[in-house]
Structure 1
Amino acid sequence: MSFAVRYYTKTGNTKRLADAIAKELGVEALPISEPVTEKVDILFLGNSYYAFNIDPEVRNFVASLSKDKVGKIVNFGSAALLNSTYKKVKAEADKVGVPMDEKEFHCKGEFKGLHKGRPNEDDIKAAVEFVKQYK
């Protein structure tokens, strides 16, 4: 199995998750400004809600993907208020024909004092445990 990890973050929360996931998989976590140029079986894509939607940069990144390069996307992220971005990301992935795994990882994220310290060490450990099923 080959893996890639890309993430989008404004607060650094999703980057912390991405770094832990990438370390477990033996790859480097890169921001979505770095395109997926190599063929990968699984792309772990970290993102969150901003103003009740996924960021336009995430939409553009998913639009740049090709089913010839990416076998499937596994969604992960953190958020202070809303939970999963799965449906929003899947809608974009469907447009380019890249399938999404039905499973995803999500935890609380700190924002403006809400959920202080999240993702915490337990969240990071849970993200690593989640990823182990794909190895």
Structure 2
Amino acid sequence: MDKKITTVRYFSKTGNTKKLAIEIANAAGCEAYTIDKPVKEKVDVLFLGASVYWGGIDSQVKEFIRTLDANKIGKVAVFSTSALAQRAYPEIKKLLLSQGIQTAEGDFYCRGQFKVMHRERPDAEDLKAARKYAEVISKGLAGEKKVAK
């Protein structure tokens, strides 16, 4: 069986999403990079992480998504953190689908520390769950067949 090509990109203002990105990359056997590094190679799965703020995901994440080439991305697996707002998955999924890029079913989300809220988050249990998410996504892709468009 061919080895699946996986990469991780993330945007993190406070370091919460970066912590998840590193765990996910370790579990997936690849490196985690910020969204400043474009995805130029063809990949089977792109793990994309973002934080959620009052106005949704950061404009830099939206711009990164606009640069993605649907012919080079098999699927995108979304992970996110936030202090108050909800997960980034619905907004990111909508943007990706408008680009013709499919998302993996479901996402990974946990609270992130912001000032005095959610101290020490993501914590050890969150990081363990992020690793498990990466493993499940990676194993799921191994059983999928590509369908010609």
Q: How does 1:15-94 map to 2 (within 5 A)?
A: 15-94=18-97
2:104 corresponds in structure 1 to 101
Q: 2 CA distance for matches of 1:72 and 1:123?
A: 23
Q: 2 CA distance for matches of 1:132 and 1:26?
A: 10
Deviations 1:92-135 (A, max 9, x none): 11221001112110011001110000000110001001111123
Normalised to the residue count of structure 1, the TM-score between the two structures is 0.96
Q: Which SS does the other structure have where 2:130 is aligned?
A: helix
RMSD of aligned C-alpha atoms?
Answer: 0.9
Q: Which structure would you say has the larger Rg?
A: 2
Q: Is the 8 A contact 1:72 1:99 kept in 2?
A: yes
Normalised to the residue count of structure 2, the TM-score between the two structures is 0.87
Structure 1 unaligned residues grouped into runs of 5+: none
- Runs of 4 or more, structure 1, over 4 Å off, are none
Structure 2 unaligned residues grouped into runs of 5+: 140-149
Deviations 1:31-71 (A, max 9, x none): 00100011101100000112331100000000100111111
1:114 corresponds in structure 2 to 117
